[in-house]
Structure 1
């Protein structure tokens, strides 16, 4: 029996590793990409939208709608910095690629998310690759989004390891902690893929350079990852890159590659540890109510079959 393809909506801030994940998704028979929504993070939102159109052009999927999302955080704070030192000022490793043109969806990203989930109840997988601002606004517009999405797979968090913005926080949670804390308390089928597993998955420099001239996207991916490799060499002294966004895609495609733990999660919104994700894993019966009491359970990835995950993702990127 042929398995029905998942309808996949990707909320994204492309971004080198976003590009890897999105292009791999277009080479994945398990999913049908039905929309891209854009947000700040690796780049500013306007650049994220431009890059989304470029990825659709490369994939020859320009009929897929792109809805531009938030330019400020959930509480209205302007985005004052982006990770250009990781992804380049253009988000694509400063390779000076030609800009693609496209017509944005008529509404905002949150409205697109609400409409798409309403029209396809129980069928849409949302893959959130950036800060959760658009998802939070969508849930505020329509509280049924959480329960009517088939799943919401979130790239973000550092639960039992250090963060990557500072020792406490991972970048997407840090980018809009109020939005993250709100979304993770709304219920529904939420899965979180954080640094606990993405740091276990790596592409070597040899593997990334070896994408040159392979498949539809190999040359593009090999070129944009050169800058990304240099960042990892400078920051971690390694000739490889951590596989963040593509690992979150893998959790949509083949969730059995991951080990999941259920619990309630809070995201710190104000302290030296802003953006830190703290999970109650249920090891104690608490005597008094606290900030985690009555929060919805989410699933957090705590282990991964890294070899199978990276092999599968490289195959999809080079197909």
Structure 2
């Protein structure tokens, strides 16, 4: 049986690669995409998601209008230096692109259609997912599991010294989600920063892939790689944080985990967006699964197999 995934995202290059992976993986059925602000504006994120569905001839998959701002909109920051002005590096969806979005209540309908079969994956700011918890509090209990990309546990952040971008972008919503979500797996920077795609891997994909996405993989990867080199000169490629999260949702054995209840600092100040656990020896363990080590070779093998359909 194919895994049913509802994706909350803000495409963004790594979100876009995650969407491509979901569309190409024969073991996954992408049942909806909720698009929100984050790497780019909500409108641009929505256009990018629909553009990818159009390339794959999968426009029957509902694109659902998510959040336009965080709960503190004056704190919203976009990242054109990382993802490009329109989120896909040098690639721009056609100006003639026309797309339809579904109302947010479609999330409730999808939950009730699939119930425990449904996996919700959140690779962006958690504003829209927190909204789903508040609006559909009884329905969302039927969801099988949740996977969230965010946080940095005992490692440096990537937006501040302490905070990762998703949790920093709307820490109030992130803290709400990590407290409310059941069967929750968090993929923080501890593992995602090691999920590096190299130029050699991309060249192999282009050589052997027959997917309709082949024409855009190299340009968006090269843009992303060059952006990362400015901050991490010694990096051997580009880390695909969001891609890893959907891959872990498909195959949790890609990572090793610890089990603690996580919290996110949602107060203003230097610690804003900090994710933390109580790791004292006498503290009780929690139920949230937090990925801390990546099986890199298994990650690469899975990615290459899916992207080349071999």
Instruction: Find the counterpart in structure 2 of residue 29 from structure 1.
Output: 26
Please tell me whether residue 71 in structure 1 is matched to residue 95 in structure 2.
no
Structure 2 SS opposite 1:36: strand
Structure 2 unaligned regions, length at least 5: none
Structure 1 unaligned regions, length at least 5: 287-294
Deviation, 1:218, is: 2.2
Please tell me whether residue 117 in structure 1 is matched to residue 115 in structure 2.
no
Deviation, 1:86, is: 0.3
Instruction: Find the counterpart in structure 1 of residue 154 from structure 2.
Output: 160
Instruction: Find the counterpart in structure 2 of residue 312 from structure 1.
Output: 302
Instruction: Find the counterpart in structure 2 of residue 222 from structure 1.
Output: 218
Deviations 1:230-265 (A, max 9, x none): 111111013400121111011111101211211111
Please tell me whether residue 15 in structure 1 is matched to residue 12 in structure 2.
yes
Deviation, 1:219, is: 2.2
Deviation, 1:163, is: 0.7
Instruction: Find the counterpart in structure 2 of residue 290 from structure 1.
Output: none
Deviation, 1:222, is: 1.3
Deviations 1:175-221 (A, max 9, x none): 11000000111141110001100122211123224433632122211
1:1-319 alignment runs, 5 A limit = 4-73=1-70, 75-78=71-74, 80-99=76-95, 100-105=97-102, 107-108=103-104, 111-212=105-206, 214-216=209-211, 217-237=213-233, 238-270=235-267, 271-281=269-279, 283-285=281-283, 297-319=287-309
Structure 1 SS opposite 2:64: strand
Deviation, 1:51, is: 0.4
Q: 1:281 to 1:212 in 2, by over 3 A?
A: same
Q: How far apart are the structure 1 equivalents of 2:271 and 2:190?
A: 17
Q: How far apart are the structure 2 equivalents of 1:264 and 1:43?
A: 30
Q: How far apart are the structure 1 equivalents of 2:112 and 2:36?
A: 21
TM-score, with length taken from structure 2: 0.92
Contact 1:41 / 1:131 at 8 angstroms: preserved in 2? Answer: yes
Bigger fraction of residues in helix: 2
Contact 2:146 / 2:181 at 8 angstroms: preserved in 1? Answer: no
Contact 1:262 / 1:281 at 8 angstroms: preserved in 2? Answer: no
Contact 2:127 / 2:173 at 8 angstroms: preserved in 1? Answer: yes
Q: How far apart are the structure 2 equivalents of 1:260 and 1:278?
A: 15
Structure 2 SS opposite 1:122: helix
Contact 2:77 / 2:169 at 8 angstroms: preserved in 1? Answer: no
Contact 2:194 / 2:239 at 8 angstroms: preserved in 1? Answer: yes
Q: How far apart are the structure 1 equivalents of 2:139 and 2:270?
A: 32
Q: 1:212 to 1:187 in 2, by over 3 A?
A: closer
TM-score, with length taken from structure 1: 0.90
Question: Which stretches of structure 1, 4 residues or more, deviate above 4 A after TM superposition?
Answer: none
Q: How far apart are the structure 1 equivalents of 2:93 and 2:66?
A: 23
Q: How far apart are the structure 2 equivalents of 1:98 and 1:212?
A: 23
CA-atom RMSD in angstroms: 1.8
Aligned length: 304
